[in-house]
Chain A
Amino acid sequence: MHGPDMTLAVKIGLSWCFAFLAAMNLTAIVFWVFRKEDGKLELPENFGLVATLCGLVFGVGLVLAHTSVPAPVSYSIGLVGLLAFGAYLVAVGLLRAGSAAAWTWLVFALVYLGLSAAYGYLPVSAAPVLPEAFRDTVDAVSGPVSFFFGSVIGLAVIIWFREFITRPAVGWIALNIFLAFYALSMTDWDFRQIVAKPDNIPITMMLLTVGFFTWLALRRAVENDRRIAEGKPVVEKEREEKVLVWPDLVYVELICMIIFTVGLVLWSIYLKAPIEQPANLTETPNPSKAPWYFLGLQEMLVYYDPWLAGVVFPGLIILGLMAMPYIDVNVKGAGYYTFRERSFAITTFLFGFIVLWVLMVTLGTFLRGPGWNFYGPYQYWDPHLVLPLVNVDFSDYFWLYWLGVAKPEHWALRELPGIIAVLLYFLILPPLLARTVFRRLYLQMGFARYMVFSFLFLMMAALPLKMLLRWTFNLKYIVHIGEYFFNI
């Protein structure tokens, strides 16, 4: 059922894609070479003219690629523009004042250029694809467990090494790795089917924008934290002076609106909105998925029943967000980026937003296939894949395994251990935490705030906890009262 990994359209697309990546890295050289101490760009005299001419040649090739002109011809025209720009940069900038980073970007650009030329000139049968062994390895190691722990460890690393990660060169390398991985993965048929779906484009946009803005915010936070430690005012404090809205703000707004509108119109021309077969309620597609922004919630259905995953948790997310400004009594960190002054609040929020929301949406969209089974990024979505469900209830553990007796008939007695466990979680943990790890928080917040906070916090922690219990003990339900649809 596999389609071909490499097709003519993919090949042509990738030749341009890698040309763009090369152009991106050449542009980076400009920033690294011609940027002065104060952050301003000081460009050579005729830079604008050369860049415009090269861009025009590149653009002509790109436009011709959408006509009946043979692909190698239009591609060659684009390549001329790119190579000319690269040669100009090496001549005027790199040789004179190239830093180690700038030379690295040149190496990146050359590698991309090589790949681009390979896709531009080699026949379909000879064009490079991602090695089968690599794809098989990635599929073999990916699963809900490795995805979750990978996310948590990744977030921890980003927070812990934030000073290193928010350096421009490190960020640039990370972006390069992400984009090159994406582009090369497009040579896999299965990856393409999912990631290149028109309605899944927002997921890629989400990963890029959330990643970039997290990086940016941490960068500003690191800078401000350094200033605070040195007893200096934060960046925002230095930019406190007021300027007139006309013309300073209204022009920024106008430019943003124009750029965004142009982008949206081009996107709309280029990519058609999806329309499938007419509605037919007798034919259920597999998988059936909610709109992409709800797929984090749909992913929770693996671990909790609909009344929790679909109603109570979303409700509590909304209420919890609303309660946040009243719970957070920390007066520091208002109106400027910081990490150290609000480390607990920010870490908790990043865990909730990135690990439990953004990455769960990604998991639900890209990696959940027919039967809501997990499929690796390069794995075929086999509708006949059957995985054994071997999950057992907490009551099974308690009565059958531990006590070795039959389960009681009446639900109240049967589920008593589970009910006690849940009650302990919500009633015993808050005071226990208040006396230990949350001691300072409790004193700052007072009783009422703390109780609301601890309830919301425990609710949020309930999702990863249930995941862990599922993965380690195959636990299905902690409380299972099917008689009343009350399952936890």
Chain B
Amino acid sequence: MALGDYIRSTQVWKSIFRHPAPVDRRNRVVVVLTNFVLHLHPVNIRKSGLDLSYTWCMGGLTFFLFLIETITGTLLMFYYRPTAMHAYRDILDLRDVVTLGILREMHRWGAHCMVLAVWLHMYRVFLTGSYKPPREFNWVVGVLLLVLTLLLSFTGYLLPWDQLAVWAITVGSNMARATPLLGHEGPLHSVLKIGEVGLIHSGSDARFLLIAGRTIGEMTLNRFYILHCIAIPLVVTSLIMIHFWRVRKDGGISGPL
């Protein structure tokens, strides 16, 4: 008996995979329907949906990158403390001390790739007119996921707590103080006042809400850490579920009517 056949005949193997390898049509249908991971897929798919020159594989790649980011991110959390005292040292340790220290590299390059993959995915969806009915709402969900992907990357940018990080976030978050009405240097903010007392100042405006202070500081680090590791991933996960659900309900990968 070949080794592969032997392994597949053991009790352990059979306890994990409840069915033999699907070789006939009926079992190939069943495996997708009944396997927990595979059931994200439909049972069958248009041939055009298999063509890489049609799909560019960018939606799937984006999701795969989200998984890579989640896994490497979780591992990074074992080493990283989001405090002004420790953050920078922990990043150096991840490079110099941690065994097989490419976790941060995988996380950072993966994040760059994910931003790019989302853009290319949307580019493809636009160019094939796949946002047209009945897929309008899923495009809207996709736009939200684009924004959240950028926010995920942006909040993560601060965490190394080096010059590159704080100044990039300073430049980015400075925009918030120019928010109309709600930023202390934004147009019309002086309209919001009670009597003579202005409601919007540098300690109460949109920027203060974003960075938890008048300047970038330890509380910003904490706020961005929570946003990066918990708050935004939770929202993204929920929206991904809706996004995938709607892909299926709207008729799978788009094709001509």
Taking CB atoms, residues of chain A closer than 8 Å to B187 are 307, 481, 484-487
Task: Say whether chain B's binding surface is mostly helix, strand, loop, or mixed.
Answer: helix
Interface band, chain A: 35 or more
Say whether, besides A277-B162, A485-B186, A240 and B153 are in contact (CB < 8 Å).
no
The A-contacting residues of B in range 22-44, CB under 8 angstroms, are 22, 25, 28-29, 31-32, 38, 41-44
Q: How far is the CA of A349 from the CA of B190 in the complex (A)?
A: 38
For the complex, count residues of B whose C-beta is within 8 A of A.
99
Q: Which of A234, A275, A284, A338 contacts B167 (CB 8 A)?
A: A284
B140 within 8 A of A: yes
Taking CB atoms, residues of chain A closer than 8 Å to B256 are 233-234, 236-237, 240, 334-336
Q: How far is the CA of A86 from the CA of B67 in the complex (A)?
A: 41
A210 within 8 A of B: yes
Instruction: Please encode chain A, from 251 to 265, with 1 for each CB lying within 8 Å of some chain B CB and 0 for all others.
Output: 011001100110011
Q: Which of A199, A213, A334 contacts B129 (CB 8 A)?
A: A334
Q: Which of B49, B102, B127 contacts A217 (CB 8 A)?
A: B127
A132 within 8 A of B: no
Q: How far is the CA of A244 from the CA of B108 in the complex (A)?
A: 36
B75 within 8 A of A: no
Closest to B27 in A: A246
Q: How far is the CA of A285 from the CA of B147 in the complex (A)?
A: 28
Q: How far is the CA of A387 from the CA of B167 in the complex (A)?
A: 24
Q: How far is the CA of A481 from the CA of B187 in the complex (A)?
A: 9
Q: Which of B44, B54, B157, B175 contacts A291 (CB 8 A)?
A: B157
Say whether, besides A307-B180, A321-B143, A325-B131, A201 and B112 are in contact (CB < 8 Å).
yes
Taking CB atoms, residues of chain A closer than 8 Å to B176 are 310-311
Q: How far is the CA of A143 from the CA of B133 in the complex (A)?
A: 43
Instruction: Please encode chain B, from 97 to 122, with 1 for each CB lying within 8 Å of some chain A CB and 0 for all others.
Output: 00000101110111011011001101
Q: In the bound complex, do residue A307 and residue B178 qualify as a contact, i.e. CB atoms below 8 Å apart? A: yes
Q: In the bound complex, do residue B178 and residue A247 qualify as a contact, i.e. CB atoms below 8 Å apart? A: no
B231 within 8 A of A: no
Taking CB atoms, residues of chain B closer than 8 Å to A275 are 91-92, 95, 160, 162, 164
Segment among B10-18, B57-65, B222-230, B233-241 that sits at the interface with chain A:
B57-65
Closest to A257 in B: B64
A64 within 8 A of B: no
Instruction: Please encode chain B, from 44 to 71, with 1 for each CB lying within 8 Å of some chain A CB and 0 for all others.
Output: 1111111111101100110010001000
For residue B223, give the distance in angstroms from its CB to the closest CB of chain A: 15
Closest to A314 in B: B175
Q: In the bound complex, do residue B163 and residue A342 qualify as a contact, i.e. CB atoms below 8 Å apart? A: no
A67 within 8 A of B: no
Q: In the bound complex, do residue B32 and residue A245 qualify as a contact, i.e. CB atoms below 8 Å apart? A: yes
For residue B95, give the distance in angstroms from its CB to the closest CB of chain A: 7
Say whether, besides A273-B108, A279-B163, A342 and B129 are in contact (CB < 8 Å).
yes
Q: Which of A216, A221, A265 contacts B102 (CB 8 A)?
A: A265
A278 within 8 A of B: yes
B243 within 8 A of A: no
Q: How far is the CA of A141 from the CA of B161 in the complex (A)?
A: 39
For residue B85, give the distance in angstroms from its CB to the closest CB of chain A: 11
For residue A371, give the distance in angstroms from its CB to the closest CB of chain B: 14
Q: In the bound complex, do residue A325 and residue B88 qualify as a contact, i.e. CB atoms below 8 Å apart? A: no
Q: Tell which of B47, B109, B185 has the most Cβ of chain A within 10 Å.
A: B109
Taking CB atoms, residues of chain A closer than 8 Å to B80 are none
B201 within 8 A of A: no
A38 within 8 A of B: no
Q: How far is the CA of A199 from the CA of B153 in the complex (A)?
A: 13
A-B contact count (CB 8 A): 279
Q: In the bound complex, do residue A245 and residue B43 qualify as a contact, i.e. CB atoms below 8 Å apart? A: yes
Closest to A487 in B: B187
Taking CB atoms, residues of chain B closer than 8 Å to A338 are 129
B257 within 8 A of A: yes
Q: In the bound complex, do residue A249 and residue B41 qualify as a contact, i.e. CB atoms below 8 Å apart? A: yes
For residue B63, give the distance in angstroms from its CB to the closest CB of chain A: 10
Q: Which of A220, A269, A306 contacts B175 (CB 8 A)?
A: A306
A230 within 8 A of B: no
Q: How far is the CA of A369 from the CA of B13 in the complex (A)?
A: 60
Taking CB atoms, residues of chain B closer than 8 Å to A235 are 48
Taking CB atoms, residues of chain A closer than 8 Å to B168 are 288-291
For residue A408, give the distance in angstroms from its CB to the closest CB of chain B: 21
Say whether, besides A248-B50, A294-B172, A484 and B188 are in contact (CB < 8 Å).
yes
A206 within 8 A of B: yes
A312 within 8 A of B: yes
A283 within 8 A of B: yes
Q: How far is the CA of A484 from the CA of B38 in the complex (A)?
A: 57
For residue A230, give the distance in angstroms from its CB to the closest CB of chain B: 16
Q: Tell which of A217, A283, A335 has the most Cβ of chain B within 10 Å.
A: A335
Taking CB atoms, residues of chain B closer than 8 Å to A440 are none
Q: How far is the CA of A234 from the CA of B129 in the complex (A)?
A: 14
Q: In the bound complex, do residue B126 and residue A349 qualify as a contact, i.e. CB atoms below 8 Å apart? A: yes
A68 within 8 A of B: no
Q: How far is the CA of A80 from the CA of B89 in the complex (A)?
A: 46
Say whether, besides A239-B48, A265-B102, A213 and B116 are in contact (CB < 8 Å).
no
Q: List 10 A-B contacts (CB under 8 A).
A: A241-B47, A249-B41, A249-B50, A260-B64, A264-B68, A272-B105, A306-B174, A310-B176, A325-B131, A336-B128
The 10 closest A-B pairs by CB, nearest first: A310-B175, A268-B105, A306-B178, A325-B136, A239-B48, A486-B187, A239-B47, A307-B178, A334-B132, A202-B112
Known contacts A220-B53, A336-B129; 18 additional CB pairs below 8 A are A201-B109, A237-B255, A239-B46, A244-B28, A246-B22, A249-B41, A265-B102, A278-B162, A281-B170, A288-B167, A290-B168, A321-B139, A331-B133, A334-B133, A337-B127, A484-B188, A485-B178, A485-B186
